[in-house]
Amino acid sequence: MADRAIPHFHNDPGVPSIRVGAREFMCIGATPPFDHPHIFIDMGHDNEAICGYCSTHFVYDAALHGRADPPECEFALDAMA
């Protein structure tokens, strides 16, 4: 059992960049049913990453504590249930 949930982010708004408060997360591209395969992204020590599937640009911001800016780019896993 995982000791923490991996945040999931999407880019439905079509913004050029999403600030995220996690270095490890999943990019789902868009909200279901238009999502792409869920891509695990690990920034490591970097502060930026680009999804290899949809080219969304993510920028790490520790002040967000696992959230996203814009907040509408966060995806709640319980929304899939």
**pLDDT higher than 80, residue 80:** no
pTM of the full structure? 0.90
**Cα–Cα separations (whole angstroms), residue 19 to 10, 11, 16, 65, 80:** 12, 11, 10, 11, 23
Write out pLDDT tens, residues 24-63.
999 999 999 999 999 999 999 999 999 999 999 999 999 9
CATH architecture of structural domain 11-71: Sandwich (2.60)
More confident residue, 5 or 11: 11
Domain range annotation of the chain: 11-71
**pLDDT higher than 60, residue 6:** yes
Apex 12 CA angle, 7 and 13, nearest 5: 110
For the sheet with 57-60, list strands across it.
Answer: 48-50, 57-60, 18-20, 68-69
**pLDDT higher than 90, residue 15:** yes
